[in-house]
């Protein structure tokens, strides 16, 4: 199988891979493919089990909060429903979609894909089905939500008794099964079922695709010498059009949201009638002063340091595109990959607020309500994810002549 590395554009001939073997780019060590051995039955079994666990987690008690003899019990959907009650529709909808809706949809799509539906569906439908399936994965945040639940429990264990319900353990099982399913998912194997990839003769070894007049499809990874992908009929580009401009625009928006996200309260805590606002930094300080040093550090890194570092790193990479590739380019590529991977983990604080708002509702005795800072913070993280997705790391490896060619193609 031929492909071009999505990170450095090197043309690579991938041999047949046995079980547990992984193909890495010899230029930048980017993971290109895993074993194409048939694992349909395993993926279907894991997907069905994950769906059962997700459904089970929605209809039974998730968490119980007891303080001064008063008990508040919530189910998993309550995390979003109570936010709707506070007219925080944006955050409520985001939580419903990212931790319930999208995971369920993705698993429901994966099952028929591994039962051979691509072999009987019309080509157009099969292509759309694969595109939709792979587009959902980056926006699923079930594992991050689970970490957010654990952090929120640490925050309130000192002031009340917490009990984990049946649904909580079902959701833990769902997350484990979901992660296992995605680990077994092989995109190249599924695209090959849709249509056999076209083989391009006379490719030059250890040479980048742009130098051979070739393009890698950004949807299915097929190596092409035409403007239309021979496998998925998608329009191909030498580089993603206006990649740097789009990434920088999303970065500016994220920075504009970062400031109010840290200034405005992300939640208000009412205790015996007294309302106290809490910012991100304020919450970190409370955790630190209470002795929860590891949790305080996690929140500080995920909610304060990582978003700022990610904005600075992506801005630096956008600048380095104008410079010729050098010995540090491989390191820049790894930094980009790490930045893209950890991007959505900044959403932990948003899920902490959602759980606390849903769980701590004891009237004037004690209650938590969302603050406007949560909206800005959620928007900031989404914008940074879009910025990382828009940036094309292959530009870091391009020569000035390559960049001129890309610019001419974009303007054409």
DSSP state letters, 33-48: EE-----HHHHHHHHH
Please state the domain count of the chain. Answer: 3
Specify whether 340 is located in the same domain as 214.
no
Does residue 189 lie within any of the structural domains? no
Does residue 204 lie within any of the structural domains? yes
Does residue 6 lie within any of the structural domains? yes
CB 331 within 8 A of CB 381: no
Does residue 412 lie within any of the structural domains? yes
Does residue 191 lie within any of the structural domains? no
Q: What are phi and psi of 366, to 5 degrees?
A: -170, 130
Question: Strand, helix or coil at 176?
Answer: helix
Specify whether 278 is located in the same domain as 299.
yes
Cα(350)–Cα(343) distance, integer angstroms: 14
Specify whether 22 is located in the same domain as 67.
no
The helix (H) or strand (E) run that includes residue 387 is helix 372-390
- Reported as a single tens digit per residue, the pLDDT across 85-114 is 877 788 888 889 999 999 999 999 999 988
Specify whether 404 is located in the same domain as 365.
yes
Most confident of 187-196, 286-295, 317-326, 355-364: 317-326
Specify whether 175 is located in the same domain as 213.
no
Please name the residue that has the structure tokens 């994950």. Answer: 50
Specify whether 26 is located in the same domain as 134.
no
pLDDT of 246 reads: 92
Specify whether 362 is located in the same domain as 400.
yes
Specify whether 317 is located in the same domain as 225.
no
- Reported as a single tens digit per residue, the pLDDT across 230-254 is 888 888 888 888 889 999 999 999 9
Does residue 190 lie within any of the structural domains? no
Average pLDDT of span 179-192? 85
Q: Which domain holds residue 116?
A: 40-184
Specify whether 224 is located in the same domain as 75.
no
Specify whether 297 is located in the same domain as 319.
yes
Does residue 334 lie within any of the structural domains? yes
Specify whether 331 is located in the same domain as 346.
yes
Specify whether 216 is located in the same domain as 319.
no
pLDDT of 202 reads: 63
Q: What angle do CA 90, 91, 96 make, to 5 degrees?
A: 100
């Amino acid at each position: 199988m031929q492909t071009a590395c999505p990170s450095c554009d090197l043309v690579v001939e991938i041999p047949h891979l046995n079980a547990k073997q992984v193909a890495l780019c010899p230029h930048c060590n980017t993971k290109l493919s895993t074993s194409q051995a048939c694992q349909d039955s395993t993926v279907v079994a894991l997907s069905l089990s994950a769906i059962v666990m997700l459904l089970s987690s929605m209809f039974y008690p998730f968490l119980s909060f007891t303080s001064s003899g008063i008990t508040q019990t919530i189910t998993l959907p309550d995390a979003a429903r109570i936010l709707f009650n506070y007219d925080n529709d944006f955050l409520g909808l985001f939580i419903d979609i990212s931790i319930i809706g999208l995971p369920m949809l993705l698993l429901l799509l994966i099952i028929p894909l591994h039962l051979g539906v691509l072999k009987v569906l019309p080509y157009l439908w099969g292509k759309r089905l694969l595109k939709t399936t792979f587009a959902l994965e980056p926006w699923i945040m079930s594992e991050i939500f689970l970490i957010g639940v654990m952090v929120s429990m640490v925050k309130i264990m000192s002031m009340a008794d917490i009990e984990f319900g049946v649904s909580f353990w079902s959701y833990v099982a769902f997350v484990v099964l979901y992660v296992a399913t995605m680990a077994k998912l092989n995109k190249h194997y599924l695209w090959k079922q849709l249509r056999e990839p076209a083989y391009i003769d006379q490719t030059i070894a250890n040479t980048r695709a742009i130098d051979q007049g070739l393009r890698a499809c950004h949807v299915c990874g097929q190596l092409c010498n035409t403007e239309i992908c021979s496998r998925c009929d998608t329009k191909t580009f030498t580089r993603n059009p206006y990649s740097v401009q789009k990434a920088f625009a999303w970065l500016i928006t994220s920075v504009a949201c970062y400031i109010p996200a840290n200034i405005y309260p992300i939640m208000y805590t009412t205790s015996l009638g007294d309302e106290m606002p809490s910012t991100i930094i304020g919450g970190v300080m409370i955790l630190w002063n209470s002795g929860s040093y590891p949790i305080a550090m996690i929140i500080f890194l995920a909610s304060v340091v990582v978003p700022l570092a990610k904005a600075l790193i992506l801005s630096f990479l956008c600048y380095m595109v104008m410079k010729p590739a050098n010995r540090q380019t491989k390191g820049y590529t790894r930094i980009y990959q790490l930045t893209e991977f950890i991007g959505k983990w900044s959403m932990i604080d948003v899920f902490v607020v959602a759980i606390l708002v849903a769980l701590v509702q004891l009237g004037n005795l004690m209650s938590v309500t969302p603050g406007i800072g949560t909206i800005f913070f959620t928007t900031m993280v989404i914008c940074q994810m879009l910025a990382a997705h828009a940036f094309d790391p292959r530009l870091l490896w391009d020569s000035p002549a390559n960049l001129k060619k890309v610019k001419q193609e974009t303007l054409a």
